A and B are shown apart, each in its own frame.
Chain A
Amino acid sequence: MRTEPYRDRDLGAALLELAVPEHGKAFFAELQERLVAERDRRHTVRRTRWMSASLAVVGIVLLAALVFLTLGLPRLRSESDVARAAVIRTQVMKALAETRTVHGAIVYRAFDVRRGETVTTRQTFAADAAGDLRLTDVGGIGDLAYNASQGVERAVTTSASIGSGRFFAERTGLAPGPPDHGPSAFLLDRELGAVVRALAAAHNPRVDEISFDGRPAWRLDTAMEPNSIFADTDHLEVIVDKKSGFPVRVLATLRGAFRSELRVQHLVLDGGLPAHVRFPADAEVLRTDEGFRHVAAADVAKVVGYEPLIPSEVPAGFHLTTIGVAMKASATGAAESNPPSLDVVSLAYRRGVEQFIVTTRRRSHGSWHDPFGVEGIRFVGEPVRAGGALAGAHAELVVDPRVVPHLWALTDRLVVTVSGDLSRKQLLAVAQSLSPQARPGTGPAASASLRRCKSARLTLSGRLQGATQSLLGTLALANRSIRACALPVAPSRVSLVVGTQVLPALTVRLGLRKEPPGAPTRRLAGRGRVRVGIQWRNWCGAPSGNLHLSLVLTIFPSVAPRTALGLVRTPPCVDHRLSSRVAVSRFIRSR
C-alpha cells in the first residue's frame, strides 16, 4: 500500500504568510499587448503552414523510402518477403543516394477530424541534394523556398489577419536540422513525418508486387501503434515505383477508416530546381532570425570557444555540407524545457537527398532531457555505451515512430546529438567516432593564437541618453592593435563613476530583445570594433540629477577600459527598495 506523502502543513502555512508582491499596474496590459502580437504572428505563421506541411509531405515520401533502407524490415513473414524487401531497400537506397534533384506534384488528402471533412491540397515540389526545397501552390499564390546554403526560408502566402492579398515572411539563421529550429519541414516533420517513421517500428510488413497507374510497383503495408495522445492511424500502405525506387502513394487508415492519402505525380529526377522566391521591392516582410550562421570549419572554435566534436567515420557517400553555429539558440526538448542552448555547432552531412545532423552545445547548468522530446510523449531511450569523446557519458538511443531516429549524450561539458537518416548501427558508429579532432584551423593552436584583448590596446566610446525610466546607449569598443584578440561573450561588470565615487549598481545581462542589432561575437578584429548595449535604471542614491559620469567596462579581471559619458541625467528612482541596475548586452559585431 502506498501511503500519502508527508506534507508539513505548519511550515506550509508559514510560507504562505510571507509577503508576495502584487504585479505592477501595467503588468496585465503589457501581457495582453504581447499576447496580441504573438497571436498575430502565430496566425501568419499558421497561414504559411499549408506549405510547410507540404514540405513535410515531401519528407514523408523520402522518409517512407528511408525507412526501408535505414532501419530495415525486421521479422518478415517469409523468405521471399525478406528477399523482396532487400531488393526494395537496395533500389530505394540507390535512388536516393544518386538523385541530385527530384520534383513533381503532390496531391494530399487528409480527413480533418474537427471539421469532419476531407481536405485536399495540391502543390508542386522540388528538392535537391544540397538540401534546397521549393513548394508552390497549384492555382494559388502560395510559394515557399528554402535555401540550405544560406539557411534562409522565404514564403509568400495569404494572411487573413492583414486583409486580402499576399503576405511575405522570411526566416533567417536557420539551423541545418534538428533538434534546433531548421526549415519548416523539420518543424512539422514531427507531426506528419511521424506517420511514416512508424514503419521503422513495424514488425510485420507485407510485401506484394502490383501494378500502380500502369507501372510495376511494390506495395508494403503494416500495422502500427497509433499516437498515444490522439489516435492518428493504425495502418499504413506504401507503394514504391519499381523503376525509380521512389514511393508514389502513402495511405493511412485508422480502424479501417480513411485518414490520409498522399499521391506523388509527374515525378522527375535530376531536373532543374527553381529555388528562389522574390519579394516585391516595397513588400512588408515578417522577418525572424533563429540565430544560426554558416561558418567555415576554421572559424568554428573561435566562435563557440571550444573544439566541436566531429565524426571521423560517416556512412559511405555522406559528406559534410553545412556548418551552422549559434552563440545562443532556442532551447530544445519538450516545450523547450531544456536549459538555454549556448554555443551550438550543427554539422549537416548529406548523401543525395539523405541527411544526418551532428550537434554539440554547452552543457549549461540545469536538468537536461532528450533534446528531441515532444510535450506529452515519453520516448523510451535505450541506454548505450559509446567510446571516443563520449566515453563515460550518459548516452541514449531513441528509435521511435514519432521522432527522427537519434542518439543524444551528456558529457561533462557538452550536450551531443546525432540524428537523421541513419540506422541504429550507423547512429552508434557515428557517435563512437566523434572526437575533438582539429580540422585545419580549428585545433588548439588556432584558438590559442587568439589572445585575450588587452586594456592598453582598447578604446571605449559612446553616450547614454534618456529613455523610458532609464538611460540607454550603445558603446563602441575599438581595437587599436593590428592583431585580432579574444573577448568573452559579454562584459562581466559595468561600473558607473562620478569623480572617484563608484555608484552602487548591480550588473545584469540585457534582454536579447533589447540588444543592439547584429551578430554576437567573441572576436575583435585588428583595427576593428564591436558594440555593446547598456541600460541603467532605478537610481535612488546620491548624487543625482545632472552628473559628469564615467563608465568602466570590465571585460576580463584586469581588462577594464573606461570612457567619459559627459553630462548625463540620472535615471528616476522607481522603487527605492530595489537595487539600481545596469544591464549590459553581449558584444555585437559592428556592421
Chain B
Amino acid sequence: LSARIAKAKGGAPVERRLLEDAQAGDERAFADLIRGFDQSFRLLAYRLLGDRREMEDALQEAYVKAFLGLPRFRGESALSTWLYRIVYNSCLDQLRRVPKEEGALHVEPSAVATDPADLVATRATLEEALAALAPIDRAAVLLVDAEGLSYDDTATIVGVPRGTIASRLSRARASLRRSLGINREGVSR
C-alpha cells in the first residue's frame, strides 16, 4: 500500500509524509497537502461555476469530503485524480442546487484591468465560449488541454468512458478555437 501511495504521489517524500499524516487525521497536514493542488482545483471549479463564492462553497465541501475519505484512499489512482473527481462532483452538486431557471451560467468579468484592450477582449470571448459549453465539455478541455491530464484520468474524473472524452474534446475545441479565431492547425486567422 505504501508503495502504491508513493507511486500515486510521484514518490515525493514530503508529500508522501503529508498524505500519511492527513490519512491519520492530521488536518494541518491535509491543508498543506491540498494547497499544492488548490490552484488547479480553483481553475476547474471557477470555470464550472462562474462565481467566486460558489467556487469557494464547492471547494470547501470537496476538501472536507476528501479529508473524510482520505483513509480509504488506497493509491489505486493518482491522488490528484482522486481529488479532482471529488472536486468535479462537488461542483456538479453545486450546479444542481441552483434552480434551473436561475441556473444559466454567467462568468463574471475577469479582473485583469492592466491587460491590453485586445487581449482583454480575446479573453472575454474565450470565457464566454467556455461558459457556453456543457460542464463535462468544459471540464474535459480544462483537464486535458490546460492541465495536461491524460484521457484516461480525465475519463475517471468526470465518470465517462475514454471515447466520450475524445468526442467531447473535439467538439469543445472547435468551439473554443472559433472564439479565439484560430484554425485547426493553431494558426491565427
Residues of A within 8 A of B (CB): 5, 7-12, 14-24, 27-28, 30-32, 34-36, 38-39, 42-43, 229-230, 335-337, 339-340, 364-367, 369, 375-376, 492-493, 506-509, 511, 575, 577-578
- When the two chains form their complex, are residues A38 and B146 in contact, meaning their CB atoms are under 8 A apart? no
- Bound state CA distance, A10 and B31, in angstroms? 33
Residues on B with beta carbons closer than 8 Å to the beta carbon of A339? 92-93, 96
Cβ contacts A to B, 25 pairs, < 8 Å: A7-B145, A11-B173, A14-B180, A18-B43, A18-B126, A19-B123, A21-B46, A21-B52, A24-B56, A28-B31, A28-B35, A35-B63, A35-B67, A36-B27, A39-B25, A39-B27, A42-B68, A229-B76, A336-B65, A364-B96, A376-B73, A376-B74, A507-B102, A508-B102, A578-B51
- Bound state CA distance, A23 and B30, in angstroms? 17
- When the two chains form their complex, are residues A20 and B73 in contact, meaning their CB atoms are under 8 A apart? no
B112 an interface residue at 8 Å Cβ cutoff?
Answer: yes
B window 147-189: CB within 8 A of A = 147-148, 150-151, 158-160, 166, 173, 176-177, 180, 182, 186
Q: Contact flags (1/0) for B27-49 with A, using CB distance below 8 Å?
A: 11011000100110011001100
Q: Which residue in chain A gives the minimum CB-CB distance to B71?
A: A42
In this complex, the member of A31, A230, A336, A506 whose beta carbon has the largest number of chain B beta carbons within 10 angstroms is: A31
- Bound state CA distance, A230 and B3, in angstroms? 12
- Contact-residue size bin, chain B (C-beta under 8 Å from the other chain): 35 or more
Least distance between B111 CB and chain A CB atoms (Å): 6
- Bound state CA distance, A365 and B141, in angstroms? 21
Query: What are the 9 A-B residue pairs with the smallest beta carbon separation, nearest first?
Result: A35-B27, A19-B110, A12-B145, A15-B146, A376-B76, A367-B159, A21-B52, A12-B146, A509-B97
- Bound state CA distance, A22 and B45, in angstroms? 12
Residues on A with beta carbons closer than 8 Å to the beta carbon of B74? 229-230, 375-376
Q: Which one of B56, B108, B127 lies within 8 Å of A577 (CB-CB)? A: B108
- Bound state CA distance, A42 and B43, in angstroms? 30
Q: A15-B142, A18-B127, A335-B86 are in contact. List 4 more A-B contacts (CB 8 A).
A: A11-B176, A18-B126, A20-B39, A21-B111
Least distance between B154 CB and chain A CB atoms (Å): 9
- Bound state CA distance, A19 and B112, in angstroms? 7
Residues on A with beta carbons closer than 8 Å to the beta carbon of B145? 7-9, 11-12, 15
- When the two chains form their complex, are residues B148 and A12 in contact, meaning their CB atoms are under 8 A apart? yes
Residues on A with beta carbons closer than 8 Å to the beta carbon of B102? 493, 506-508
Residues on A with beta carbons closer than 8 Å to the beta carbon of B57? 511
Q: Which residue in chain B gives the minimum CB-CB distance to A338?
A: B89
- When the two chains form their complex, are residues B56 and A7 in contact, meaning their CB atoms are under 8 A apart? no
In this complex, the member of A22, A335, A577 whose beta carbon has the largest number of chain B beta carbons within 10 angstroms is: A335
Least distance between B134 CB and chain A CB atoms (Å): 11
A23 with B86: in contact, given A493-B101, A509-B99, A578-B53 (CB under 8 Å)? no
B window 131-145: CB within 8 A of A = 141-142, 144-145
Q: Which one of B27, B39, B93, B123 lies within 8 Å of A17 (CB-CB)? A: B123
Q: Which one of B68, B99, B147, B173 lies within 8 Å of A492 (CB-CB)? A: B99
A7 with B144: in contact, given A21-B55, A336-B65 (CB under 8 Å)? yes
B130 an interface residue at 8 Å Cβ cutoff?
Answer: yes
- Bound state CA distance, A20 and B46, in angstroms? 7
Residues on A with beta carbons closer than 8 Å to the beta carbon of B130? 15, 18
Q: Which one of B1, B25, B89 lies within 8 Å of A43 (CB-CB)? A: B25
- When the two chains form their complex, are residues A10 and B182 in contact, meaning their CB atoms are under 8 A apart? yes
Least distance between B98 CB and chain A CB atoms (Å): 5
- Bound state CA distance, A577 and B147, in angstroms? 27
- When the two chains form their complex, are residues B99 and A507 in contact, meaning their CB atoms are under 8 A apart? yes
Residues on A with beta carbons closer than 8 Å to the beta carbon of B47? 18, 20
- Bound state CA distance, A9 and B141, in angstroms? 11
- Bound state CA distance, A16 and B42, in angstroms? 11
Q: Contact flags (1/0) for B66-95 with A, using CB distance below 8 Å?
A: 011100111010000010011001001100
A5 with B150: in contact, given A18-B47, A335-B69 (CB under 8 Å)? yes
- Bound state CA distance, A30 and B97, in angstroms? 22
B121 an interface residue at 8 Å Cβ cutoff?
Answer: no
Q: Which residue in chain B gives the minimum CB-CB distance to A368?
A: B159
- Bound state CA distance, A493 and B98, in angstroms? 11
- Bound state CA distance, A5 and B145, in angstroms? 11
- Bound state CA distance, A364 and B95, in angstroms? 12
Q: Contact flags (1/0) for B104-130 with A, using CB distance below 8 Å?
A: 000011111000000000110011001
In this complex, the member of B52, B64, B147, B160 whose beta carbon has the largest number of chain A beta carbons within 10 angstroms is: B52
- Bound state CA distance, A150 and B74, in angstroms? 36
- When the two chains form their complex, are residues B159 and A335 in contact, meaning their CB atoms are under 8 A apart? no
Residues on B with beta carbons closer than 8 Å to the beta carbon of A507? 99, 102
Residues on B with beta carbons closer than 8 Å to the beta carbon of A9? 145
Residues on B with beta carbons closer than 8 Å to the beta carbon of A376? 72-74, 76
Residues on A with beta carbons closer than 8 Å to the beta carbon of B108? 577-578
Q: Which one of A19, A34, A509 lies within 8 Å of B111 (CB-CB)? A: A19
